[in-house]
Structure 1
C-alpha cells in the first residue's frame, strides 16, 4: 500500500488527497451474489408453489422490516406472509425454505476472485456490509464459502439496522477501529453509497467487475 496519504484524480480531472484505505466493506447481493429474496425471486418461487402473490406482497414490507433486522426468524416471517395467508395450501416451511435458498447464485465470479486475492494479500481488513436476514445470510456465507474471504460481518440481521440508515454504517466504522475516511464501501445502490459517504466513509458504486477494478486502483488498491 501507499503511505498514509495518497493522491486521487476525480472524474472531473481534479486531484485531491485521500487517506489510505484500511478497511474494505463489500455488499453481497448485487455485487458478489444475486439478491437473497427480491421481488423477482419470490414471484418465481411462490408462483410455482401456488401462493397468492397479492396477499404475500401486502404482508411483505412489515414482516421483512423485522426479519432483515434480526428481530424475528424465518419461520415466523413465512408463517406471517405465506402460511397464514394460504391456509388451504399444503405447504410447509421445510419444503419452502430450500427453494428460497436455491434462488441464491454467484453473480460475479470475477469479483469473488478479486476478493480472494485481496484477502490473501493481507494488507486490508475485509468485511461485509449488507442487508440480509440472519438465516439467509448464514446460508449464503456457508454455501458460497464466503467465510474465509472476510474478517468479519456487518449484516442487518446481526446488528438490527439496515442500509441506508446511518446506524449500520456507524457500527461498521466503530468495528473497523479506524477513522471513517479509511473505510471504502462497495455497493450496487447509489443511495447506500451516499449514506456511507454521509458518515465519512469513501464509496464505490458497483457497476461491473472491470469498473470496480479501475476504481479500486484509484484508491491505491490493485488487483489482477
Structure 2
C-alpha cells in the first residue's frame, strides 16, 4: 500500500535523545550507566514514570515515587532531578524532514509526555515544532501511552489512514513493535543520519541533510 502518512515520536526523534542527558547525569552523580533507564524499565506499565505519562500522578508525587523506586534499586535519584533531562535539543535535519514529509503526506506525532511541559523545560522553539503536525497525541492528555496499540490506532483514525499506509519513527524498539504489528513501516531511530536514510527509503523522498551514500 502506498504511504499516506508519516508518524513521528518527539523526544529522541525530532529532538535529541533524553538518554544522552541521563548518561551525563549518571556520570556526574557516580551512578551506574543506564541506571535511570533501569528504573524506568522496572514494572514499566505501573511504575512512577508510566503513571506520570498517563497523568495519574502529579509531578510532586512523581518526585517521591521515582525516588522510592530508585532507592529500591540501590541509588537515591529524586524524580524532580529527572524531569528536566527530558527537554532535548531540536535536530535540524529531522525538523527539515518533517516539513518535506508534510508537503507529500499527512504527518502526526505520538509522544509520551507529562502534563506540565514547564517541568521538562521545553522552550518556545521546541513547542513551536509541534504546530507543524497535522495531529498530535500526547499521552498525558490521552490517558494512554506507548506501547499501548490503541494510541497508534487513535492516530490512524485522526489522520483517516490505515496503519498499512503509515511510516512510524521512534527511538525505542518497544514502541516500534506494536506499530509494526499493526502493519506500519516502523523505523527505530538510532541517529539522525540513520533515521533520514531509512525514512528516505520508506517514502521515496529526498532530504537535503541526508548524507550521500
**Same fold (TM > 0.5):** yes
- Return 5+ residue gaps in structure 1 as ranges: 1-18, 48-52, 86-92
1:220/1:132 Cα in 2 relative to 1: closer, same or farther (>3 Å)?
same
What is the aligned length? 187
Matched, 1:126 2:107: yes
Secondary structure at 2:131 match in 1 = helix
1:194 corresponds to which of 160, 163, 177: 177
Give the one of 177, 193, 198 matched to 1:215.
Answer: 198
SS at match of 1:210: helix
Query: Shift in Å at residue 167 of structure 1?
Result: 1.9
Residue 53 (structure 2) aligned to one of 68, 87, 104: 68
Return 5+ residue gaps in structure 2 as ranges: 30-34, 71-78, 209-213
Of the three residues 140, 143, 146, the one matched with 2:122 is 140
Secondary structure of the residue aligned to 1:70 is coil
Q: Secondary structure at the match of 1:134?
A: coil
Is this contact kept in 2: 1:68–1:132, CA < 8 A?
Answer: yes
Q: Deviations over 1:74-128 (max 9, x none)?
A: 2332254459x9xxxxxxx9xx58x843652216322122223333x2x322111
User: What do you get for the CA RMSD once the two structures are aligned?
Assistant: 3.6
The structure number with the bigger radius of gyration is 1
Instruction: Tell me if structure 2 keeps the 8 A contact 1:41–1:103.
Output: no
Cα distance, 1:171 vs structure 2: 1.6
In the other structure, the counterpart of 1:32 is 14
- TM-score, with normalisation over the residues of structure 1? 0.66
